[in-house]
Amino acid sequence: MPHDGHFGILLILGIGVFGGMLGAWMFQRMRIPQVIGYIAIGLLIGETGLGIIGQVQLPELRPFSFLALAVIGFLVGGELEGKTFKQYGRQFMGIMLGEGLGAFFIVGALCGGLLWFITGNLPAALAGGLVFGAISSATDPASTIDVLWEYRSKGILTTGLISVVALDDALALTLYALGTSVAGLLVGESAGMYELIRTIGIELIGSGLLGVGVGAGLGFILQRSHSPERSLTLLVGSLLLVAGVCLSFHLDVILCAMAAGATLINTRPQLSKPLLKTLREFAGPIYVMFFVMVGARLQINAQPWWLWVLVGLYVVGRTAGKYGGTWVGARLSRSPAVLRNYIGLGLFAQGGVAVGLSMMAGQHLSNVQIMDGLDLGSVVVSAVTATTLLVQLLGPASVKYAITKTDELGRNVTEEDIVAGLSVGEVMNAEPVTLREEDLLTQVFAKISNHDQLVFPVVNPDGACTGVISLQSLKALFVEQDIWGWMIASDVMVPVRDVLRTDTPLSDGFIEMRRMEAEETILRDPDSLKPVGIFETRAARREVTRRLVQRQGVQ
């Protein structure tokens, strides 16, 4: 144990990242999205579990969380390409309004009704209902998108999910501003209404404007930077600035970074795509740590029994509201069936925005006593924390279910991904036509003209491959037909170079062939020396392309 009884921040970060990776690995083995593993490890090492990360350290880790939110926001924004909106903008907007308002009304009605039933205090119940409803409309972009990336999802559902989760934070903030204002009116705190709307208006508009400015500025500078390392440094620097400025001026980090990412991808698409790829690789440990801290922050304390009923109603109502609202929104905006039936399943995750709003509500509503010793603010904080835990564990699994059902899982692959998953043996010609050592050249030429192989293994009576004849090596013989009748394959074959094995990774195979400046080679069984296949780079590339098209499917 450290000398002051607390673990240092760096040690906590290290434990968090390693523990998170371990959790992800364990959950992935159970075919559960890795993000749930991160959060589970967070719960384990947080106050609820072993207490390694306590409430004392959490505030110290807050700046790190904001950087993570900036990185996540920027990456989410980078997914919002204008051309997608041109095609499906109306549908995505319809779905976003449907799911947000669906959750708002159903959660609001259920939670408000329960609060009224328990407390008999109608204004407080209405106020609580409005605040719960507003908070429930937000979807967590980070964990949702983490699942989409983890499973390399691609297609209209994936694009729709990214767009909706990116946009519905703004809806949630607006609903929260209106809801809390009305709630304030209902419980006699109307003085703050104008101020609150103004504050949230500034937060929304200010975040958006700052983000657009940062994105445009980044694009301008990046166009003049020709070094990828310098570009990444510049980008991370900008995101630190975004996080810092947003914190100082009470702006929304994730919205601001999202606007910056969206601005960059739409103004300099060629420039930003490789940069976003690099940032995504760089963001790995930040992601892990962020979600571990999300888990560590969730606290489940002793609460009155009806709070658990409230949590249940919230989760059920939010799930029904999001799914039903999505269905209605998709129907009204004439969205394709795949969006109408499945996008709702991908919108259950609840994260940073909801928790942040509940903290704000905790302050705003701390004076509203609903029972002896219990204020509405505390109820909101406790309930949202508990519901976040529940839906954060269910949400990512549900996203995975949706992309699996719509067959979008695994479609966002590149040629490199396909190559990385293959061995030489999987793409070689495993049934090569062979020549015998004693075949006359007349027979050799007859055989070659009937098959489109570029190289032919030459085998002895035992079937062992003793040499190779390639079209290239026969060039000198084309004009010397006088000798075709008495020269044999063995006279013109060249020795086999055993450079590849069937289990050689395909990427290594391509490198080796490039190094040899060869287009094709024979593979032999190491023991019997019998030819087991022919590796032809062009045929292998064709097979990779075929598999790529098959994996990506027709979208």
Partner 1 sequence: MSGPGAHLVDETLSPDRVFLTRERRKEDLLHFLVDQMGRSGDVDDMEALRSAIFMRENLMSTGIGLGVGVPHARISSVRRMVMAVAVNDQPLDDYESIDNRPVQLVFLVAGRPDQQSNYVRLLAVLSHIVKDDARRNALLSAASPDALYESLLSGV
Three-state DSSP state, 109: helix
- The reply to whether 516 sits near partner 1 by the rule CB under 8 A is no
Distance separating alpha carbons of residues 454 and 472, to the nearest angstrom: 8
**For the residues of 436-478, what is the DSSP string, one character each?**
ETT-BHHHHHHHHHHS--SEEEEE-TTS-EEEEEEHHHHGGGT
Q: How do the residues of the chain divide into helix, strand and coil, expressed in percent and rounded to 5?
A: 70, 5, 25
User: Which region among 18-26, 232-240, 432-440, 500-508 touches partner 1 (by CB under 8 A)?
Assistant: 432-440
- The reply to whether 455 sits near partner 1 by the rule CB under 8 A is no
- The reply to whether 498 sits near partner 1 by the rule CB under 8 A is no
According to CB under 8 A, which one of 2, 59, 373, 495 is a site residue for partner 1? 495
Q: Which is nearer to partner 1, 150 or 437 (CB)?
A: 437
Q: In which region does residue 246 sit, left (phi positive, over 0), alpha (psi from -120 to 50) or beta (all else)?
A: alpha
Q: Which is nearer to partner 1, 394 or 487 (CB)?
A: 487
**For the residues of 405-416, what is the DSSP string, one character each?**
HTT-TT----HH
User: Which region among 121-129, 293-301, 469-477, 532-540 touches partner 1 (by CB under 8 A)?
Assistant: 469-477
User: Which region among 160-168, 309-317, 420-428, 483-491 touches partner 1 (by CB under 8 A)?
Assistant: 483-491
Q: Which of 538, 138, 508 is nearest to 352 (CA)?
A: 138
- Answer yes or no: are the C-beta atoms of 459 and 436 closer than 8 Å: yes
According to CB under 8 A, which one of 10, 476, 515, 527 is a site residue for partner 1? 476
- The reply to whether 491 sits near partner 1 by the rule CB under 8 A is yes
- The reply to whether 512 sits near partner 1 by the rule CB under 8 A is no
How big is the CA angle at 505 (ends 503 and 509), to the nearest 5 degrees? 105
- Answer yes or no: are the C-beta atoms of 255 and 170 closer than 8 Å: yes
Q: What is the DSSP letter of 356?
A: H
According to CB under 8 A, which one of 150, 437, 508, 519 is a site residue for partner 1? 437
Q: How far is the CB of 498 from partner 1 (least distance, A)?
A: 16
- The reply to whether 459 sits near partner 1 by the rule CB under 8 A is no
Q: How far is the CB of 488 from partner 1 (least distance, A)?
A: 5
Start-to-end CA span in the chain (Å): 55
Greatest extent of the chain over all pairs of C-alpha atoms, in Å: 111
Q: Which is nearer to partner 1, 173 or 492 (CB)?
A: 492
Distance separating alpha carbons of residues 203 and 127, to the nearest angstrom: 22
According to CB under 8 A, which one of 82, 438, 538, 549 is a site residue for partner 1? 438
- Answer yes or no: are the C-beta atoms of 437 and 485 closer than 8 Å: no
User: Which region among 124-132, 277-285, 406-414, 475-483 touches partner 1 (by CB under 8 A)?
Assistant: 475-483
How many of the other CB atoms lie within 10 Å of CB of 462?
A: 9
Q: Which is nearer to partner 1, 415 or 498 (CB)?
A: 498
Tokens encoding 49: 């579990």
Q: Which is nearer to partner 1, 340 or 447 (CB)?
A: 447
- The reply to whether 490 sits near partner 1 by the rule CB under 8 A is yes
Q: How far is the CB of 436 from partner 1 (least distance, A)?
A: 9
Q: How far is the CB of 492 from partner 1 (least distance, A)?
A: 7
Q: Which is nearer to partner 1, 18 or 484 (CB)?
A: 484
Distance separating alpha carbons of residues 130 and 108, to the nearest angstrom: 5
According to CB under 8 A, which one of 205, 300, 316, 494 is a site residue for partner 1? 494
- The reply to whether 442 sits near partner 1 by the rule CB under 8 A is no
User: Which region among 80-88, 380-388, 422-430, 487-495 touches partner 1 (by CB under 8 A)?
Assistant: 487-495
From residue 48, alpha-carbon distances to 37, 38, 66, 240, 293 in Å are 16, 15, 23, 31, 12
- The reply to whether 488 sits near partner 1 by the rule CB under 8 A is yes
- The reply to whether 454 sits near partner 1 by the rule CB under 8 A is no
Distance separating alpha carbons of residues 149 and 55, to the nearest angstrom: 31
Q: Which is nearer to partner 1, 221 or 477 (CB)?
A: 477
According to CB under 8 A, which one of 486, 497, 538, 549 is a site residue for partner 1? 486
- The reply to whether 477 sits near partner 1 by the rule CB under 8 A is yes
Q: Which is nearer to partner 1, 185 or 477 (CB)?
A: 477
According to CB under 8 A, which one of 366, 423, 442, 473 is a site residue for partner 1? 473
User: Which region among 217-225, 307-315, 335-343, 474-482 touches partner 1 (by CB under 8 A)?
Assistant: 474-482
- Answer yes or no: are the C-beta atoms of 490 and 438 closer than 8 Å: yes
Residue 415 φ then ψ, to 5°: -60, -40
- The reply to whether 482 sits near partner 1 by the rule CB under 8 A is yes
- The reply to whether 194 sits near partner 1 by the rule CB under 8 A is no
User: Which region among 293-301, 391-399, 472-480, 519-527 touches partner 1 (by CB under 8 A)?
Assistant: 472-480
Residue 535 φ then ψ, to 5°: -100, 120
DSSP H helical ranges for 188-345 = 193-222, 228-248, 253-267, 269-282, 284-297, 305-332, 337-342
Number of residues near partner 1 (by CB under 8 A): 18
The β-bridge partners of 429 are 534
Tokens encoding 242: 């975004």
Residue whose structure tokens are 């926001």: 73
According to CB under 8 A, which one of 485, 503, 527, 554 is a site residue for partner 1? 485
Q: Which is nearer to partner 1, 299 or 490 (CB)?
A: 490
User: Which region among 80-88, 174-182, 280-288, 477-485 touches partner 1 (by CB under 8 A)?
Assistant: 477-485
- Answer yes or no: are the C-beta atoms of 66 and 253 closer than 8 Å: yes
Parallel/antiparallel/unpaired status of strands 465-470 and 455-459: antiparallel
Q: Which is nearer to partner 1, 349 or 489 (CB)?
A: 489
Tell me which residues touch partner 1 (CB under 8 A). Answer: 437-438, 440, 473, 476-477, 480, 482-483, 485-488, 490-492, 494-495
